A and B are shown apart, each in its own frame.
Chain A
Amino acid sequence: MQARNLSARISVLIGLAALPLLLVYFLYDPAHSALFPACPFHRLTGLDCPGCGSQRALYQLLHGHILDALGYNLMMVMALPLILYAAAVQAGNLFRRERRVIRFLYRPWFTKLVLAAVLVFWVARNLPFVPFSWLAA
């Protein structure tokens, strides 16, 4: 019981530790501040990685600007509901006797879909013409 809850507890602790960071991302716009770490891949190659624009997107999301957030990183905004749902289930497991899991996360098709989505998004957002250039960070 305790052992299998350990990872859930650690995840929740890391989540709680990250909460103050949200305040930083609410107060400062990464698009106009040197405070935030830039993506090493972008700095080296000039290309966007699948995560580029996430920080700017987060700032926009925290201000309720969903379209601006989508413009910075479509994948991050689309993945967020899944991440929040998984986090809620994980946190709930701390208070349940039986560990609950999200079934489709354990289906082979879903991991393959995620991998394909990441790779396609990575290539597509670096193509220098419309509509793909809309995906750039």
Chain B
Amino acid sequence: MEQQPVPQPGNGGQPVVPPKNWLVESILVTIFCCLPFGIVGIINASKVNSALAVGNYDEALRLSKEAGKWTKIGFFVGLALIVISVILQFVVGVAIFRRNSGSFGMP
């Protein structure tokens, strides 16, 4: 239950608030993190919008939940990858530093 359809008078013809399509979040994922999830997210947002355009609110709501699920998976997988990557970089860096300082002989 992310968003309830709420009647909104005077918003240019559309009687309900559209369910979240996760487009902006997907753009963020595309730009800052993990491309495949970002593109899947944009495609999912597109599906939500298409359902809205033909007035199929229930379908839009279902697709919205699906889109949200994948965006969240993308976010956490991305976060995990970044953390692992930073740790690896650090470990490799320390190893190289130790080897170099060993072979060049610290006093």
Contacts and interface: CB of A to CB of B under 8 A. Distances in A.
Contacts of A36: 86
Interface in B53-106: 53, 68, 81-82, 85-86, 89, 93
Interface residues of B, number: 40
Q: Is the interface of B mostly helix, strand, loop or mixed?
A: helix
A12 B42 CA distance: 21
B58 to A, nearest CB: 16
Given A50-B31, A108-B50, A114 B23 contact: yes
Given A38-B85, A51-B30, A115-B46, A4 B4 contact: yes
Chain A binding surface, main DSSP class: helix
Given A79-B27, A99-B17, A105-B21, A118 B39 contact: yes
Interface residues of A, number: 39
B99 to A, nearest CB: 16
A54 B81 contact: no
Among A11, A34, A75, A114, chain B packs the most CB atoms within 10 A around the CB of A114
9 contacts: A4-B4, A37-B86, A37-B89, A83-B24, A98-B6, A98-B8, A99-B6, A108-B46, A118-B30
